[in-house]
Amino acid sequence: MSEVNVLRRTQEQRTAETRAALFEAAVTTISRLGYNRASNAEIADEAGVSRGAITHHFATRAAFIAEVVRWVFDQEVAAYREIQRERQIGARVSDWPEISWEVLSRPSGIAVLEIFVASRSDPELASLIKPAQNVIEEAAATAFFDRIGATVRDPAAIRLVVWAVRGMALGRDFIDDPDSMQASVDLLSSMFERLSPSGRLEELVG
């Protein structure tokens, strides 16, 4: 292998490592401080990189944040798969509130919610986030349908789960006993089980 190729690969690796560090730091900082207070400088400091790193690697802050959302989705996909594999669950619709809660209630899920809310008053951010969210939702729904062997492709159930869980994750900050939100997640699972004893989506939405 030539010296040029070695140097190029090393530079690519460094770039990838810096970007990953920035994405992880963005999640940590936004979930802790909220979107508006999580400045580029705060994120860079959390990542342990220079304060100009974000503007060096991304054209705008909005472009950076959109990539954070995509990165979080990739992490969530891996988490969903790991939970299903380790616990041998996910084939029943009643499994999905608990699986989604475990994934979406993490700091990364809170950070994404903060970003979504911020995009409502930021046209540039919204123009990047909404298309990304559409792609993410379609990919997530397809994975859900495939896992439960659905013959119908009605997105209502997965939207109900995802957005109910997102709301409950955020709602923990507004109740005296945040851990008690688990009971609401369990109730949603129980409702799905009663509505679909077979575990199939068709029975739930039919």
Domain ranges of the chain: 1-57, 61-205
Smallest CA-to-CA distance from 124 within 63, 41, 59, 34 is with 63
CATH architecture, domain 1-57: Orthogonal Bundle (1.10)
Per-residue pLDDT band for 8 (boundaries 50, 70, 90) equals: low
**Residue whose tokens read 């540039």:** 124
* Dihedral angle sign, alpha carbons of residues 85, 89, 91, 93: negative
Per-residue pLDDT band for 7 (boundaries 50, 70, 90) equals: low
Q: What's the pTM value of the predicted model, to 2 decimals?
A: 0.89
Give the pLDDT of residue 94: 97
Per-residue pLDDT band for 9 (boundaries 50, 70, 90) equals: low
